[in-house]
Structure 1
Amino acid sequence: MTVPPAHRAFEDLVAEAVAVPTEGWDFSWFEGRATEERPSWRYARSLSGRLAGAGGAPLPFADGAFDLVVSRHPVRPHWAETARVLAPGGTYFAQHVGPASVFELVEYFLGPQPESVRRARHPEDERAAAEAAGLEVVELRAQRLRMEFHDIGAVVHFLRKVVWMVPGFTVEAYEPRLRALHRRIADEGPFVAHSTRHLFDARKPSTAP
């Protein structure tokens, strides 16, 4: 009889998660152990259609070199540079990480975060920054997406891989909280968090204002 991961021993689950390599951006290990809802706009599919009609340019990039600039989960959007390299009428099409993403998990380990941290990457702040750089925001859509961690091993591997969530995370440093969360998942079911995403469709005006 197979024991569900959540009901396996804490030490076994943690040892398994610690042994998994964290290099690269492969999340296949989470299959059956954690889930994340995807945005309804299906960014990759939408992007493929736009790329089919876009042209490129050689390095270095001149002013107005591109009719399409794309980005998925930039750490910090470079609005002025994006506006510079876009041709008049060109488009910036991107999916950004939103504010307080997966903060249920972050705050479980770090405690309540200040409002300035929770608001970072707010879509309306980014809209203002894009418009200040001279772009017109054609569409801005935001979603809050359900995530589930089905066992403590999934939590450990996630925090080892996505290192900015709980900076300096180690099993040793957070063992009491990890053990408490392991018991909670076994008793109550998956730990639920929410990621946040927003879709940007912005345009460089065809003519200067």
Structure 2
Amino acid sequence: MDNSSRTFEDLVAEAAAVSVDGWDFSWFEGRATEERPSWGYAKAMGERLAGARAALDIQTGGGEVLDSAPQLPPLMVATEGWPPNVARATALLHPRGAVVVASPEEAPLPFAAEAFDLVTSRHPVDTHWAEIARVLRPGGTYFSQQIGPASAVEIVEYFLGPQPEERKNARDPERARAAAEAAGLDVVDLRAERLRIEFFDIGAVVHFLRKVIWMVPGFTVDAYRPLLRSLHERIQVEGPFVTHSARFLIEARKPA
């Protein structure tokens, strides 16, 4: 069905009912697009995992990104804090010999010091640099793609209004560099890009805000129905709603 001819209520009801478990974005096919960073995180992560002996993936989500790696090291551990994702990641990664550990995001990592020669993380909510430095072996590496400053700010401000500069700039890559160095790590690579996102129908917006829950905290269809309806009408008249994601890649090494 051509989504442009569907009603507001139909699109919203569908998007409100679909599962948002895991970190699979295939539901957006044909309904939204997002440019990808030029560095190709998943491929680069896979190359590093292939050469590791013991690796840890922090905040693995449903395990989809880690599972994309062609080869996992002899010891592969992943942590995740949200119970539905723990179950999903366990089902996906256990057959490959990886261990999934339920660990709250704000808690210390439940591992001994110098346990891993590689730590990875894609889009962590927070980065606990001191803990990462603690569990890395000397010479070990932290490799991560993270959300940058003012990511998707256009959609956030549509629903929440103008945001404080402090919130918009909280994920500045240079802050990450400083925090990594304060934890005793050497930053060997730091790159940042802004990337175009287009939403072709209001259902895609609803699904995005239900899945990426930190964009509009406490989002529900009922709470934002008038704004959603106005945005639906705007998309029908003007075309896709455009926003921009911010991403940065950071690679930091523990001195040998």
Normalised TM-score (structure 1): 0.91
| Alignment equivalent of 1:91, drawn from 134, 141, 150 | 141
CA drift of 1:110 comes to 0.3
**Range with bigger deviation, 168-177 or 194-203:** 168-177
| Alignment equivalent of 2:16, drawn from 15, 18, 41 | 18
CA drift of 1:58 comes to 9.7
Letter of the aligned partner of 1:77 in structure 2?
T
CA contact under 8 A between 1:6 and 1:185: conserved in structure 2? no
Letter of the aligned partner of 1:120 in structure 2?
A
| Alignment equivalent of 1:197, drawn from 237, 244, 247 | 247
Where 1:44 maps in the other structure, the secondary structure is helix
Aligned pair 1:67/2:65, yes or no?
no
Identity of aligned residues (%): 71
| Alignment equivalent of 2:158, drawn from 105, 108, 120 | 108
Where 1:141 maps in the other structure, the secondary structure is strand
CA drift of 1:146 comes to 0.8
CA drift of 1:55 comes to 1.1
Select the structure of larger CA radius of gyration: 1
How many angstroms apart in 2 are the aligned matches of 1:58 and 1:184?
A: 47
Question: What is aligned with 1:156?
Answer: 206
Change (3 A) 1:61 1:22: closer
Q: CA-atom RMSD, angstroms? A: 1.7
Question: What is aligned with 1:179?
Answer: 229
Aligned length: 204
Q: Which has the higher contact order (CA 8 A, sep 6+)?
A: 1
Where 1:88 maps in the other structure, the secondary structure is strand
CA drift of 1:173 comes to 1.6
CA contact under 8 A between 1:141 and 1:200: conserved in structure 2? yes
Question: What is aligned with 1:143?
Answer: 193
Question: What is aligned with 2:30?
Answer: 32
Letter of the aligned partner of 2:172 in structure 1?
H
Where 2:247 maps in the other structure, the secondary structure is strand
Cα deviation digits, residues 114-161 of structure 1 (max 9, x gap): 011101111101110000011111110011111110001111111122
Where 2:142 maps in the other structure, the secondary structure is strand
CA contact under 8 A between 1:160 and 1:169: conserved in structure 2? yes
CA contact under 8 A between 1:69 and 1:93: conserved in structure 2? yes
Residue segments in structure 2 that go unaligned for 5+ positions in a row: 55-74, 78-109
Question: What is aligned with 1:78?
Answer: 128
Residue segments in structure 1 that go unaligned for 5+ positions in a row: none
How many angstroms apart in 2 are the aligned matches of 1:122 and 1:177?
A: 29
CA drift of 1:201 comes to 1.1
Normalised TM-score (structure 2): 0.75
Moved >6 Å (runs of 4+) = 57-60
How many angstroms apart in 1 are the aligned matches of 2:5 and 2:46?
A: 42
How many angstroms apart in 2 are the aligned matches of 1:46 and 1:186?
A: 39
